[in-house]
A and B are shown apart, each in its own frame.
Chain A
Amino acid sequence: MNLNNTDYFSCTFETGESNAINKDFFKERDFLGGWTVSDRNPLIGLKRHASREILPQNKIIDISIEDLKNILEGTIKKNATDKNIIFLSGGKDSSTLAYIFKRLNIPFKAISLYSNVSQTTEYNIVQQLEKKLEIDVNYYKIDTIPKIDFPYWIENPFTAKRLAVKELSLADHRIFTGEIGTGEMQVNQSLQYTAMLGYRPKDLARWHVNVCGSYRRINSVNEIHDDPIYFECIEHFESRFAEWGRHPDILNRVMFSRLQDEGAYRLFNYGLDDLEWVHPYAESDFISACVNMPSEYKGKKNLYREMYPEMTDLAWRYPKSGLGIPTM
């Protein structure tokens, strides 16, 4: 279950009686790489309900860095117990989270997943972080992720984390994730495109679908499928851009028009299980401030460094590779 207030990313699927499988749901899920944006449900006759909260505001929120820090640390303090876990991937989000816990003197166990099968690893980065932050990291080896027949949205990193918590007998801990960070999920390409050709929301709506559906491999702004459901997905992101049209800073529109949908996807499966998950960055007040503040702070996840300039820059020195573990 998700413990903190992540209302901007809420998502529920109706449950009930229906014998008919909605094949279009699964088709849409394929077009977006494991998730959906419509109200389709896997069962015909039932629906999905997305958050009705509107993230973009019609003005730029000029929040101070100090206030932003207070919101984030307030969420952590409010939800932390004497038994906490942080999954340390070596990336900027989880590294900052660990740094904040350390700074606030909140006890936590750091867990890092790694694999001997995959050569793609952040193991060495986490080892360096362990020294820099002076923490003990529990390295959990996982060579395959068990194949789970996800009824709704597919999310393998969640499965790996859940498995580690169960096998390490830490299910009684409160688990903090770095999910969605400061909202800058894959913003560089869209910023570059806007820098090159100006603000083109229709092109970027196509890119959102293409890049998600290809698991980040295809960075095309063209129509690459000829299917009504594919076009529906594009229209959805066009409507997101229209919603963001109220926000005065064009670059915030460029960076955050996919955030509510992808954020909902990232958090969704955590909400279904019996573990206690906390996603401090996805807390409503924090994420709303991040995406509505002047864009000049954004782009390279530098907001963390604005908040904590004394923190190590290790996570900024390496590209993020992901776990690279096959699903069996």
Chain B
Amino acid sequence: MDSAFRLCSIKNLIVVASKDAKQAFIDTVYPHNIDCVVITANEAKHYTGDYKVVFFGCFVQELAHCENIVMDDIIYRAWSPKPYTVRWEPESLATFLGCWFSQSKLRKMNNNHSWRFKNGKPIDGRFGWLKNLMT
């Protein structure tokens, strides 16, 4: 669907090391957040614009000028001992990526999360420390 590629405005890239990794991402994480385009490191070399880029298991120098995050260490922490482990499920990884992709919007336009935290969220007392952090 090259015509669809031409029409859409690609802002968010997921770059993975290989074709197999691309398929794995498409099978697991991608269905939970379709607001991105998934490409291999080889394919990434043809992308010359300004994107937000998430790298898994690779880094592509040609995209170094873009705002980017290398996920390798963060993913690796899934195997750190408790309580320093960061558990990832496809849904939570997709959610993290969706929020990370929205960072530039927050920088340009700010956000109103502080108001929300100050006036109610989180409603569950267990996360009161987050309320203090965000207000």
Contact = CB atoms under 8 A, between A and B. Distances in A.
Interface stretch (A52-60, A235-243, A264-272, A317-325): A317-325
A128 to B, nearest CB: 13
A324 B34 contact: no
Nearest to A199: B1
Nearest to A249: B3
Contact of B7 (A119, A203, A299): A299
Given A207-B34, A222-B31, A195 B8 contact: yes
Interface string A304-328: 0000000000000011010010100
A219 B35 contact: yes
Nearest to B10: A192
Q: How large is the interface on A (under 10, 10 to 19, 20 to 34, 35 or more residues)?
A: 35 or more
B132 interface: no
A120 B109 contact: yes
B110 A120 contact: yes
A197 interface: yes
A220 interface: yes
A151 B5 CA distance: 42
Given A219-B35, A319-B105, A119 B8 contact: no
B32 interface: yes
Interface in B78-115: 94, 98, 104-105, 108-112, 114-115
Contacts, number: 99
B61 interface: no
Interface in A111-144: 117-122
Interface in A70-118: 117-118
**Residue in B2, B9, B37 whose Cβ sees the most chain A Cβ within 10 Å:** B9
A299 B8 CA distance: 6
Contacts of B4: 191-192, 194-195, 251, 254
Nearest to A220: B32
B38 A196 contact: yes
A110 B110 CA distance: 24
How would you classify the secondary structure of chain A's contact residues: helix, strand, loop or mixed? Answer: loop
B105 A321 contact: yes
Q: How large is the interface on B (under 10, 10 to 19, 20 to 34, 35 or more residues)?
A: 20 to 34
**Residue in A219, A254, A321, A326 whose Cβ sees the most chain B Cβ within 10 Å:** A219
Interface in A192-234: 192-199, 203, 207, 217, 219-222
Given A120-B110, A193-B34, A300 B119 contact: no
Contact of A119 (B9, B31, B94, B111): B111
A188 interface: yes
B8 A222 contact: no
B26 interface: yes
Interface in A155-199: 187-199
B135 interface: no
B42 interface: no
B36 interface: yes
A274 interface: no
Contact of B109 (A121, A191, A195, A222): A121
A296 interface: yes
A219 B98 contact: yes
A196 B31 CA distance: 11
A295 B111 contact: no
Interface string A281-311: 0000000000000011011100000000000
A218 B34 CA distance: 9
Nearest to B99: A217
B114 A326 contact: no
Nearest 3 A/B pairs, CB to CB: A299-B7, A119-B110, A191-B8
Given A192-B34, A220-B34, A319-B105, 12 more contacts: A117-B115, A119-B109, A121-B109, A188-B8, A189-B35, A192-B37, A217-B98, A219-B98, A251-B3, A318-B109, A319-B104, A321-B105
8 contacts: A117-B112, A122-B109, A196-B34, A199-B1, A220-B31, A251-B4, A296-B3, A299-B8
Interface of B: 1-10, 26, 30-38, 94, 98, 104-105, 108-112, 114-116, 119
